Amino acid sequence: MQALTTEHCVACRSDAPRLSADELRDLLPQIPQWEVAERDGIPRVTRSFKLRDFNDALELTNRVGALAEAEGHHPAIVTEWGRVTVSWWTHKIRGLHRNDVVMAAKTDEAAEDLAVQA
């Protein structure tokens, strides 16, 4: 199986299929620290990263922002002292697409040297 971090986002149209429950169940083990949460009726994959301080939180925020720009797919990011929470979903389909799981895996990779293990 190809690592999610080697994949790239594909352009999504409003009629693109959402991930099925089976597809999501098969992909979630590859991003084990992410949870599926629904907000405003839209499922998203979300993770909070614990960091040493605000500078590391800003660094992670900037890394995720650069990934998002490079892939043309943008998350919600909340930056706080010692914590960054990232949520991915596909706005056009109001749900989850493979792109969201790919970007969650890339976010994990971007955080590897910054995140503090809980």
For the chain, the structural domain boundaries read 17-111
β-pair partners for 79: 84
Q: Looking at residue 94, what is its pLDDT?
A: 94
Supply the pLDDT for residue 1.
42
Rounded to the nearest integer, the mean pLDDT of the chain is 94
The three-state DSSP-derived secondary structure of 36-88 is EEEECCEEEEEEEEECCCHHHHHHHHHHHHHHHHHHCCCCEEEEECCEEEEEE
- pLDDT of 115: 80
Q: Which residue do the tokens 């991930």 mark?
A: 19
The CATH architecture to which 17-111 belongs is 2-Layer Sandwich (3.30)
What's the pLDDT at 11?
A: 83
Count Cβ neighbours within 10 Å for each residue of 48-76 and write b for 16 or more, e otherwise: bbebeeeebbebbbebbeebbeebebebe
Please report the pLDDT score of residue 117 as a whole number: 66
User: With a cut of 70, which residues of the chain have pLDDT below it?
Assistant: 1-2, 117-118
